[in-house]
Amino acid sequence: MELSVYKIDGTLSGKKVSLDEKVFGVTPNDHVIYLDVLNYLAAQRQGTAKTKDRSEVAYSTKKLGRQKGGGGARHGSLKAGIFVGGGNVFGPKPRDYSFKLNKKVKQLARVSALSYKAAEGKIVVVEPFTMDAPKTKEFKNILSAIKAGDRKVLFVLPENANNIFLSSRNLPDVKVITVDEINTYAIMNAHSLVLVDGVQDILAARVK
């Protein structure tokens, strides 16, 4: 697949790039995409939810009444979960929600997601550029000029460019990342992808 490279003013540069079929032309595997997205979201969870059980609540341990002859159930402590203020039964405890996913599964998920975007015509390639200072309005004009779309945009840089990143921070529908940070969730969560020329070659070089 070949795509034309745009300049930041929206005009064609005259250059065309070829998207590697092993990255942008595979048959997508929906299940591995699901697994990788689940893996990413699970890793974002703090896992700090915690409730006190009956061994942790502050109550007297005095027995409430005699064992037999009271006319009701036998109770040994106000800490029991059936009393208001008692300990929580089977409540959440701090835990780690992340789980391991094989590297080849994650790689297949990424190329599947990229192949979906390529098949849908949602990838735009722009020539490398720099910004002298963070300018949100200027960056927004660039996105508009290259017709990146007015919905969620994932802007992928070959390397860190602080001024471009800072220019995008106030745009809620735009996420700027480097090629090292690209992941299946970010790709699938975006409506369109903007690749700075060179990113496609880095991605192809990393697929074995």
Residue 166's pLDDT is 94
Rounded CA gap, 198 and 150, in Å? 24
Residue 51's pLDDT is 95
Residue 100's pLDDT is 96
Contact 134, 60 (CB under 8 A): no
> What residue spans define the domains of the chain?
2-46+102-206, 51-91
Residue 176's pLDDT is 94
Residue 207's pLDDT is 84
Q: State the fold for domain 2-46+102-206.
A: Ribosomal Protein L4; Chain: A; (3.40.1370)
Rounded CA gap, 161 and 167, in Å? 10
Residue 14's pLDDT is 85
Residue 155's pLDDT is 94
Give the pLDDT means over successive 10-residue stretches in the chain (208 positions).
Answer: 88 88 93 97 95 91 87 89 91 95 95 94 92 92 86 92 92 93 94 92 87
Residue 97's pLDDT is 95
pTM equals 0.84
